[in-house]
């Protein structure tokens, strides 16, 4: 007997072996998909009616700093280095584990409501992020972000924190949490530190998550320091392998792209963040052409400023079309693949497709909406017209986290209250109390 049977939906399996089903059923048992087809020949504890909806794999967001929801709109429209060094880093120093827990809970709420079932994260107080993920039921690949700035003491203490995080949380939350090592970037970490992290990750059999060539300034800095760009430096120290997830990868030469392809590095593309921070345009069509696994991501809320992967999908498609002045360069199906199949591949999880044996991580998107009418092509609507708020039901690990628009795994109002209280720790003079927290008559 299945735990859950989803009926009457258009099943976008994303599985090339089975193709999509105009009307089909998906059965889930013990957290895994046990049936995908026209009609399930058995009973189920719970039926979900997906009439007029698309049932698809949950979206996979492969680069986030989830706790940064607290800094959403905190310091916008500033040059990237100034933004990070003068605003973000000083304020992050004021945030403790309780604040980050509240921020990541808010991030998870936002992600669940917009159809993301798995995210990869790199941030401070990552144990608090793990607790938030455990509590809400999402799936995540978490890393403690490490920076040494060439200081051997800082390198040692960062690596120790990273190792402890890996030891404590690998496979936590019933396997929903996986861990990665998170050296921040080639220009904020020394070569020695990057080598040490690489070695430790191989020893522990854990993947690595890093920012690579996000800005032209990084490219210039690396050329000055090492006489070569980040990709060549990392390649020369044996850093690259198929267990590496590299975010951004904007300032790449043809040769850099070949290195990424040959070493099997996974690229996380953050089009909205890259446009907002004026970082540049990653050569995604060329990377895909060379066989690099490119997935999609929001980046943190301070540079996006939300976590809606539907917005990211549309932006990715539009950006590369106009950048190449060729609208055939990337189509809706390719974008959907990046947001599902490719993301799951980068994180090494059995998700991203609705397929027997895979995790019961899926979402239901309501197509009975004015902006999705009429319906000729499901792929087109999902990428060019749908929004995160069209997602009505979300399952992770076979558990229903949201049903018919009702979030079941947390109290939405409480999450907003806690996050707003945590944001006070920034000491910002500009914080506006929209929830009325300082007004006793608004107490609930």
Ligand X SMILES: N[C@@H](CCSC[C@H]1O[C@@H](n2cnc3c(=O)[nH]cnc32)[C@H](O)[C@@H]1O)C(=O)O
Q: How far is the CB of 63 from Zn ion (least distance, A)?
A: 6
Angle at 297 between CA 292 and CA 298, to 5 degrees: 155
Q: How far is the CB of 133 from ligand X (least distance, A)?
A: 17
Position among 12, 106, 111, 124 found at the interface with ligand X (CB under 6 A):
124
Pick the closer one to ligand X by CB: 84 or 259. 84
Q: How far is the CB of 363 from ligand X (least distance, A)?
A: 26
Report the residue number whose CB is nearest to Zn ion: 299
**Which residues is 295 bridged to in the sheet?**
268
Position among 69, 158, 293, 393 found at the interface with ligand X (CB under 6 A):
158
The window from 121-129, 216-224, 256-264, 389-397 that contacts ligand X (CB under 6 A) reads 121-129
Q: How far is the CB of 160 from Zn ion (least distance, A)?
A: 23
- Which residue, among 349, 180, 208, has the nearest Cα to 265 in the 3D structure? 208
Q: Is 211 annotated as a binding residue?
A: yes
CA distances from 174 to 150, 210, 358 (A): 37, 26, 15
Q: Is 65 annotated as a binding residue?
A: yes
- Does 214 engage in binding with ligand X (CB under 6 A)? yes
Q: How far is the CB of 329 from Zn ion (least distance, A)?
A: 25
Map residues 273-312 to x or -, x wherever contact with Zn ion holds by CB under 5 A.
--------------------------x-------------
- Which residue, among 179, 177, 187, has the nearest Cα to 211 in the 3D structure? 187
Cis peptide bond prior to 165, omega within 30° of 0: no
Helix (H, G, I), strand (E, B) or coil at 62: strand
Identify what 88 binds: ligand X, Zn ion, none; CB under 5 to 8 Å per kind.
Answer: ligand X
Q: Is 92 annotated as a binding residue?
A: yes
- Which residue, among 366, 356, 358, has the nearest Cα to 397 in the 3D structure? 358
Position among 56, 147, 336, 344 found at the interface with ligand X (CB under 6 A):
147
**DSSP secondary-structure letter at 359?**
B
The window from 16-24, 51-59, 142-150, 191-199 that contacts ligand X (CB under 6 A) reads 142-150
Q: How far is the CB of 240 from Zn ion (least distance, A)?
A: 19
Q: Is 350 annotated as a binding residue?
A: no
- Does 145 engage in binding with ligand X (CB under 6 A)? yes
CB atoms within 10 A of CB 77: 8
Identify what 123 binds: ligand X, Zn ion, none; CB under 5 to 8 Å per kind.
Answer: ligand X
Q: How far apart are CA 367 and CA 55, in angstroms?
A: 10
Q: Is 154 annotated as a binding residue?
A: yes
Position among 57, 186, 300, 343 found at the interface with ligand X (CB under 6 A):
300
Q: Is 184 annotated as a binding residue?
A: yes
- Does 303 engage in binding with ligand X (CB under 6 A)? yes
Pick the closer one to ligand X by CB: 103 or 388. 103
- Which residue, among 214, 219, 254, has the nearest Cα to 233 in the 3D structure? 219
Q: How far apart are CA 370 and CA 397, in angstroms?
A: 31
Encoded tokens for 195: 């080598």
Q: Is 63 annotated as a binding residue?
A: yes
- Does 88 engage in binding with ligand X (CB under 6 A)? yes
- Does 299 engage in binding with ligand X (CB under 6 A)? yes
DSSP E strands: which ranges in 302-405?
362-366, 391-396, 399-403
Chain centroid, CA 14 distance in Å: 19
- Does 15 engage in binding with ligand X (CB under 6 A)? no
Q: How far apart are CA 278 and CA 272, in angstroms?
A: 10
- Alpha helices in 141-279, H assignment, sequence order: 152-169, 191-204, 216-226, 230-236, 254-263, 271-276
- Does 163 engage in binding with ligand X (CB under 6 A)? no
> Element (H or E) spanning 35, and its range?
strand 32-37
Q: How far apart are CA 347 and CA 431, in angstroms?
A: 36
Position among 32, 65, 125, 345 found at the interface with ligand X (CB under 6 A):
65
Q: How far apart are CA 282 and CA 262, in angstroms?
A: 18
**Which residues is 209 bridged to in the sheet?**
245
Map residues 233-262 to x or -, x wherever contact with ligand X holds by CB under 6 A.
------------------------------
**Which residues is 266 bridged to in the sheet?**
245
Identify what 303 binds: ligand X, Zn ion, none; CB under 5 to 8 Å per kind.
Answer: ligand X
* Torsion angle of C-alpha atoms 226, 227, 229, 234, degrees rounded to 10: -40
- Binding site for substrate: what residues are annotated? 92, 154, 184, 214, 299
In the complex, the residues that contact ligand X under the rule CB under 6 A are 65, 84, 88-89, 92, 122-124, 145-147, 158, 184, 211, 214, 273, 299-300, 303
- Binding site for Zn(2+): what residues are annotated? 63, 65, 211, 299
In the complex, the residues that contact Zn ion under the rule CB under 5 A are 299
């Amino acid at each position: 007997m299945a735990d859950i049977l989803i009926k009457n939906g258009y099943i976008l399996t994303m599985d090339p072996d089975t193709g999509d089903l105009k009307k089909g059923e998906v059965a889930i048992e013990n957290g895994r998909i046990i049936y995908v087809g026209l009609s399930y020949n058995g009973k189920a504890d719970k039926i979900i009616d997906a009439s007029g909806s698309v049932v698809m794999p949950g979206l996979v967001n492969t680069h986030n700093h989830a706790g940064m929801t607290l800094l959403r709109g905190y310091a916008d429209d500033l040059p990237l280095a100034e933004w990070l060094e003068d605003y973000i880093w000083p304020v992050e120093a004021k945030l403790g584990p309780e604040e980050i827990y509240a921020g990541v809970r808010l991030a998870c709420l936002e992600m669940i409501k917009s159809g993301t079932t798995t995210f990869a994260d790199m941030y401070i107080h990552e144990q608090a992020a793990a607790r938030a993920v455990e509590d809400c039921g999402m799936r995540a690949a978490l890393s403690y972000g490490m920076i040494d700035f060439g200081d051997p003491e800082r390198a040692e203490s960062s690596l120790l924190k990273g190792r402890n995080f890996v030891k404590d949380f690998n496979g936590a939350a019933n396997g929903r949490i996986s861990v990665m090592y998170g050296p921040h970037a080639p220009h904020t970490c020394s070569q020695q530190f990057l080598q040490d992290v690489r070695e430790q990750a191989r020893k522990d059999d854990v993947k690595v998550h890093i920012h690579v060539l996000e800005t032209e300034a990084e490219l210039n800095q690396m050329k000055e320091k090492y006489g070569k760009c980040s990709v060549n430096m990392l390649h020369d120290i044996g850093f690259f392998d198929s267990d590496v997830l590299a975010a951004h990868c904007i300032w790449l030469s043809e040769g850099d792209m070949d290195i990424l392809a040959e070493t099997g590095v996974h690229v996380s593309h953050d089009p909205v963040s890259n446009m907002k921070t004026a970082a540049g345009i990653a050569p995604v069509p060329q990377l895909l052409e060379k066989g690099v696994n490119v997935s999609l991501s929001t980046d943190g809320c301070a540079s996006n400023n939300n976590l809606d992967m539907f917005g990211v999908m549309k932006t990715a498609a539009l950006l590369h079309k106009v950048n190449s002045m060729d609208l055939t360069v990337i189509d809706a199906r390719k974008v959907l693949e990046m947001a599902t199949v490719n993301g799951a591949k980068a994180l090494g999880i059995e998700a991203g497709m609705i397929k027997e044996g895979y995790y019961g991580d899926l979402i239901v998107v309501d197509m009975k909406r004015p902006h999705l009418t009429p319906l000729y092509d499901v792929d087109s609507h999902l990428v060019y017209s749908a929004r995160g708020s069209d997602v009505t039901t979300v399952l992770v690990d076979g558990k229903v986290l949201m049903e018919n628009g009702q979030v079941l795994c947390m109290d939405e109002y409480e999450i907003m209250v806690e996050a707003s209280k945590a944001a006070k720790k920034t000491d910002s003079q500009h914080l506006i109390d929209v929830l009325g927290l300082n007004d006793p008559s608004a107490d609930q």
